[in-house]
Amino acid sequence: MFKKILIFNRGEIAVRIAKTVNELGITSAVLFSDADRSALHTRYADESYSIGGYYPAESYLDVDKVISTAKKIKADAIHPGYGFLSENAAFIKAVEESGIAFIGPSSKTVETMGKKTDARRLMHAKGVPIVPGTIDPVTSIEDASKLVQEIGFPVLIKASAGGGGKGMKKVTRMEDFADAFESAKREALKAFKDDSVFIEKLIDDPRHIEVQVLADKHGNYLHLFERECSMQRRHQKVVEEAPSSFLDESTRKKITNYALLAAKACGYYNAGTVEFLVDNEKNIYFLEMNTRLQVEHPVTELITGTDLVREQIFIAMDRKLALTQDDIKLKGHAVECRIYAEDPDNNFLPTTGKVMLHRLPSGPGLRVDRGIDFGSEVGIYYDPLLTKITTWGIDRISAIERMSIALSNYLIAGLYTNISFLKWIINNDKFRKGDYNINFIDKEFLSLPPGEWKKQGTEEDELFATAFAALHRNKKRTETSVLPKACSENNKWGGNND
Amino acid sequence: MINDYRIELNSKEKEAKILSQNKIEIDGVSYTCELIQNNNAHYSLRLNNKVYEVIKVEENKNKIVILLNGFYFFCNVETVLEKKASQIVKLSEKAKHRSEVHSPMPGMVLKIKKKPGDEVNHGESVLILEAMKMENDIKSPFSGFIKDILVSEGNPVEKGAILFRLE
């Protein structure tokens, strides 16, 4: 049994991991940057240690600092969370060599699956279908131009080392190809220190469906069904659900089998996610494997009654999986909404501020994973994900109704968030029918006239907003003016409240 | 009337008259009202028999952002007199501001594709701004000519800074 686990992350995921670590009676330790001195994760962990710096490169991306701290505090294991160094093979190799257990797959697996072109080659060889396109990375514009003429437009240019939409460009015609190719290479170089890219045929209106897998170090593999993650803006997910209402039983069987095949092909152990595109004819294409815990893992936990972090820790302790495939039963439906500090009217770019008030929704079938609290500074240094709300219902529509109410009950002041935008999605007819793909937000939201989506509140909502705006302004004016107050508000409380 | 307000609510026009301490008239209908402030940001608002929780998200003079029932409302609250005054100011400023393109976020100017005097079409990319490791095309809001570019490649810009002007 591990005695102490160092959680090398921040925000909601560090808090979430600390909770399971604490439940298992293991000491949880976290690191914090200068920008995170009073961040929530430092309060939930048993121990917290400064690593200094404001920018990620000086803190949460510093391999030497984390390993030396882990040794110093005598941590048995490191949990990387998601993002930062979680899928960095060199980091994982350094952890392996330090004698500290890594809660995740081997560096070798991560290296193979991290190079998108290597992963595509491997999947292709093992019979997992891949998106048509290049197998080998391309670097010269001449080679690339020749290739796209063979594949045919539209195409996607992607970073070989990529993920998260960085270094990814969609091109519909030859005239734009050279510019996009160079831009993708620049982004890739900056984000991943590797400017090699590859080219895929663009699948029309696909769904993004991924399968959660678990594997131990003894060759046991199982899947925990799929997650529907097609609701994306800027190539990043905002609403996820499980199961996918698009899959029938036979497609579900196929996609989960492919996921297990993929996991076995790369000698995977620990928790991982195999991402696929599924087209309108329910053809399945391997996209990539995420060799870590996913942001959206709560939907899987809610429909299967599992704790993936607990399984991750046990696997890292070399235990055999206690669960078998037959133990994993799909029950009900779960939906997750990601609350971001971002402005839907400004291309979903981050907003900043200090949280002046924060009240979370609560109630049956509702889970909240949060990384912020009253007083938190939401700055420019890190990802603007604030909180994840996940609702469970006996069927899809119950989970959705719960989500709509939960979003209404989420109160936050001091910065602007995407809550209204999430409500717009949750209440959208097409979403409610399950009729959406990865182009939904581009087609249904970005095409609206400016401000149109903000008119979604009911007349009653508008009435109360109007009344509040007038009463608030009036109060301010009477407070600062020399006019006698018609009736002092303090009188209600006995008049000596001030 | 001194307690007669005009409210722009997510670009809809509303009228509110405060009749007394606990009476308000909105778009011609009157309600009994009670506004209770629980702390700097959290309020309970009762209209007749219904109570809403209202969050004051941000406030700047006449402008206030509120969150209510999961919806953000961007309100501009003015008395009838203020409204008349601001309309006059707006008209004179309109022409001036229309042609400025501001930075939507803090970032770094990666590449400038146009130079002063160049003709640009509506939606055409003028420069690339890098933020959060992503490249963002800054496009021309209408067709015209580049009057001047106020930023240079490789330099950081603040949110709201003027990037370029059109004519």
pLDDT at B121: 87
**Which one of A140, A166, A201 terminates a domain?**
A201
Position A126 confidence tier, pLDDT thresholds 50, 70, 90: very high
Per residue in B8-35, pLDDT (tens digit) is 999 899 999 999 999 999 999 999 999 9
Most confident of A262-271, A484-493, B82-91, B137-146: A262-271
Expressed in angstroms, the distance from the first to the final Cα of chain B is 42
Query: Quick one: A446 and A469 in the same domain?
Result: no
Are both A53 and A147 inside the same structural domain? no
Nearest to A349 among B40, B68, B104 (CB): B104
pLDDT of residue A54: 86
* Stretch A23-32: mean pLDDT: 97
The partner residue sitting opposite B133, judged by closest CB among A190, A407, A412, is A190
Q: Does the beta-carbon distance from A420 to B54 stay under 8 Å? A: no
Residue A246's closest CA among A438, A118, A443? A438
A136 and A65 housed in the same domain: no
Nearest-CA neighbor of B5 among B76, B53, B59? Answer: B76
Cβ–Cβ under 8 Å, residues A240 and A229: yes
Inter-chain CB proximity A420 and B106 less than 8 Å:
no
Nearest Cα neighbor of A434 from A225, A230, A211, A202 is A230
Res A193 pLDDT > 50: yes
Q: How far is B8 from chain A (nearest CA, A)?
A: 9
Take residue A122 and report the two structure tokens written for it.
């491997």
Q: Residues A471, A372: one domain?
A: no
pLDDT digits (tens, 9 = 90+) for A377-417: 998 889 999 999 999 999 999 999 999 999 999 999 999 99
Give the model's pLDDT for residue A481.
64
List the one residue out of A220, A372, A209, A367 whose CA is nearest residue A301.
A367
Q: What residues contact A272, with CB distance under 8 A and at least 6 apart?
A: A105, A212, A213, A214, A215, A263, A289, A290, A291, A292
Lowest mean pLDDT among A33-42, A146-155, A229-238, A273-282: A146-155
Say yes or no for a CB contact (<8 Å) between B57 and A412. Answer: yes
* Per-residue pLDDT at A484: 47
User: In terms of domains, do A447 and A484 share one?
Assistant: no
Phi and psi dihedrals of A217, rounded to 5? Answer: -90, 10
Average pLDDT of chain A? 92
Structure tokens belonging to residue A350: 């981050």
Whether A113 is covered by a domain: the verdict is no
Q: Which two tokens stand for residue B140?
A: 């021309």
Q: How far is B20 from chain A (nearest CA, A)?
A: 8
Q: Which of A444, A451, A474 is nearest to B73 (CA)?
A: A451
A309 touches A292 (CB < 8 A): no
B72/A350 CB distance under 8 A: no
Q: Is the pLDDT of residue A188 over 90?
A: no
Write the pLDDT tens digit of every residue in A278-305: 999 999 999 999 999 999 999 999 999 9
Higher-pLDDT residue of A496, A472: A472
Give the span between the Cα atoms of B109 and B156, in whole angstroms: 6
Ordered domains of chain B (ranges, CATH): 4-95 (no CATH), 99-166 (2.40.50.100)
pLDDT value of residue A163: 67
Nearest to A237 by CA among A211, A214, A201, A207: A207
Q: Among A83-92, A230-239, A485-494, which is the least confidently predicted range? A: A485-494
Read off the CATH number of the domain in which A52 is found. Answer: 3.40.50.20
Closest-CA residue of A relative to B13 is A466
Which pLDDT score is estimated for A452? 85
Least trusted range by pLDDT, from A99-108, A286-295, B41-50, B108-117: B108-117
Indicate whether A195 and A218 sit together in one domain.
no
Residue A225: strand, helix, or coil: strand
Query: What's the pLDDT at A450?
Result: 81
Q: What is the pLDDT of residue A160?
A: 85
Q: How far is A250 from chain B (nearest CA, A)?
A: 39
Q: Is A114 within a domain?
A: no
Catalytic residue among A252, A292, A338, A370: A292
Q: What is the reported pTM? A: 0.85
User: Using a CB-CB distance cutoff of 8 angstroms, which residues of chain A are in contact with residue B77?
Assistant: 469-470, 472-473
ipTM of the complex in this document: 0.85
Virtual torsion, Cα A483, A487, A488, A490, nearest 10 deg: -170
- Residue range A328-354, pLDDT digits in tens: 999 999 999 999 999 999 889 999 999
Q: Which of A455, A122, A429, A375 is nearest to A261 (CA)?
A: A122
- Which CATH number belongs to the domain containing residue A146 in this structure? 3.30.1490.20
What pLDDT is stored for residue A497 in this prediction? 33
Q: Is the pLDDT of residue A139 over 90?
A: no
In chain A, % of residues over pLDDT 90:
79
Element (H, E) at A211: strand A207-215
Q: Is residue A173 part of a domain?
A: yes
Asked if residue A480 belongs to a domain, the reply is yes
Q: Cα A55 from chain centroid? A: 20
The answer to whether A98 and A158 are in contact (CB under 8 A) is no
Q: Give the total number of structural domains in chain A.
A: 4
Q: Could you tell me the CATH number of the domain that includes residue A262? A: 3.30.470.20
Non-local (6+) Cβ contacts of A177 within 8 A are A144, A145, A148, A171
**B65 contacts A471? CB cut-off 8 A:** no
> For residue B6, which residues of chain A lie inside 8 Å, CB to CB?
none
Helix (H) or strand (E) holding B83: helix B80-98
pLDDT of residue A457: 87
Choosing among A183, A453, A471, which should be mutated to test the B contact, i.e. which has the most B CBs within 10 A? Answer: A471
The answer on A375 and A304 residing in a single domain is yes
Q: B47 and A463 in contact by Cβ < 8 A?
A: yes
For B65, name the nearest residue in chain A, comparing CA atoms only: A416
As a whole number of angstroms, the distance between CA A448 and CA A442 comes to 10
Q: Among residues A177, A201, A225, which one ends one of the domains?
A: A201
Looking at residue B97, its pLDDT comes to 59
**CA–CA separation, A295 and A301 (whole Å):** 12
**At which residue do the structure tokens 């005695």 appear?**
A3
Chain B residue with CA closest to A357: the answer is B41
Distance, CA of A101 to CA of A2 (rounded, Å): 9
Residue A176 domain flag: yes
Size of interface A-B (CB pairs under 8 A): 172
Nearest Cα residue to A300 out of A368, A242, A231: A242
Task: Determine phi and psi for A195, rounding to 5 degrees.
Answer: -100, 15
CB neighbours of B94 closer than 8 A, spacing ≥ 6? none
Contact call for B14 and A466, based on CB within 8 A: yes
Stretch B46-52: mean pLDDT, rounded? 97
Mean pLDDT on A460-468: 96
For residue A117, being part of any structural domain is answered with no
- Judged by CB atoms closer than 8 Å, whether chains meet at A454 and B10 is answered as yes
Active site annotation includes A310: no
Nearest to A451 among B11, B14, B134 (CB): B11
Neighbours of A135 (CB within 10 A): 12
B56 neighbourhood in chain A, CB within 8 Å: 413, 472
Contact A166 B5 (CB under 8 A): no
A129 and A119 in contact (C-beta within 8 Å)?
no
CB A175 within 8 Å of CB A114: no
Dist. CA A432–CA A423, nearest whole Å:
12
pLDDT band at B95 (very low <50, low <70, confident <90, very high): low
Q: Using CB atoms, pick whichever of A460, A472, A487 lies closest to residue B64.
A: A472
| Amino acid A495: pLDDT | 32
Name the pLDDT band for A356 (thresholds 50, 70, 90).
Answer: very high
Please answer yes or no on whether B131 and A473 come within 8 Å at the CB atom: no
A370 falls within a domain = yes
Q: Which residues of A touch B101 (CB under 8 A)?
A: none
Same domain, A163 and A227: no
Q: Does B71 sit within 8 Å of A454, measured CB to CB?
A: yes
> Are A315 and A464 contained in the same domain?
no
For residues A165 and A217, membership in a common domain is answered with no
Query: Is there a single domain that holds both residue A449 and residue A472?
Result: no
Give me the domain span that covers residue A58. Answer: 4-103
pLDDT greater than 50 at residue A131? yes
Using CA atoms, how far residue A182 sits from A133, A234, A325, B152, in Å, is 19, 19, 46, 20
A227 inside domain: yes
- Of the partner residues B53, B57, B106, the one whose CB lies closest to the CB of residue A416: B57
> Tell me, what's the pLDDT at A478?
84
Segment A57-83, tens digit of pLDDT:
889 999 999 999 999 999 999 999 999
Mutate to test the interface with A, among B1, B81, B124, B132 (most CBs of A within 10 A): B132
Domain-terminating residue out of A201, A222, A239? A201
pLDDT value for B96: 62
Domain match, A244 and A313 both? yes
How near does any CA of chain A get to the CA of B4, in Å?
Answer: 9
